[in-house]
Structures are given as C-alpha cells and as structure tokens.
Amino acid sequence: MRFACLGSGSEGNGLVVEVGSTRLLIDCGFGLRDTVARLARIGVAAETVAAIVVTHEHSDHIGGVAAFAARFGTPVWLTFGTLSVVAERFARLDLQTELARLLGVPKQRVNHWITTKCSRL
C-alpha cells in the first residue's frame, strides 16, 4: 500500500492511495493541470486513477473534481449530503442520469429524492 500527498492546505487538497494496481484519489482540490502535474511528479499517470473519493464539499477538496472526472472519465464517489451541496458544480458530469438509474427514479425527481432523503439523516 502506498500513500502520496499531492498537497494539503487552503489552496487545495489531494491524496493518492494505491494498493496493487488500483489508485484512488482522495479529494481533488487543485485545478486540472495542477493535479495532473502533481500526479506526474509522483509517477502516476492521471488516466490510471480508478476513482475520486470526495470527503466533503469545501472548495479546497472539490475544486478540480468535476474537470478531472470529465477529462479522464473517472468515477466520483461522494455522499448524498455532499452531492446535494455541490450538485451544480458536477452538472457537466451528468450525474443525474446515473443517479436516476441507480435510485430507480425519473431523472427529473433526483434532486427532490436527494433533498428528501438527506433531510432525514
């Protein structure tokens, strides 16, 4: 198992966790170019990141998530609570279509479903 910090602070946060050939990016608070450069410095090609796990909605943790995921087709894992706060930022990823499929609800009802379920947590 390998951990590599891409950076930590108010300008951005990111951590690579690697087990065997699987690499996860925990948070992606840097811009796309900066994230790719930081990954390259530790010998990781951006397209080899299997998924991004978002810990919470602060901009220094999610700033580059949407751009990275869109560019490399990387899945994003986050809680419904975090998604409900940052849904507009991730709109270009068409998460509503995927969530509608997973939740078994019509696409136009996804935001209502998230708001209703999250308010009960």
Q: Which amino acid is at 73?
A: G
Q: CB within 8 A of 52, min separation 6: which ones?
A: 24, 25, 26, 27, 28, 65, 68, 69, 74, 75, 76, 77
What is the DSSP pairing of strand 22-28 with strand 49-53?
A: parallel
Question: CB 65: neighbour CB atoms within 10 A?
Answer: 26
Domains of the chain: which residue ranges? 1-78, 80-121
What is the DSSP pairing of strand 49-53 with strand 12-19?
A: unpaired
- Give 57-90 pLDDT, tens digit per residue: 888 888 898 889 888 988 888 887 888 777 766 6
Question: CB 7: neighbour CB atoms within 10 A?
Answer: 16
Please give the structure tokens belonging to residue 110: 């996804």
Question: CB 40: neighbour CB atoms within 10 A?
Answer: 11
**Amino acid 57: pLDDT:** 85
Whether domain 1-78 has CATH 3.60.15.10: the reply is: yes
Cα separation, 47 vs 72, in Å, equals 6
Whether 25 has a pLDDT exceeding 80, the answer reads yes
Q: Is the pTM of this model over 0.85?
A: no
Q: Report the first-to-last Cα separation within the chain, whole angstroms.
A: 33
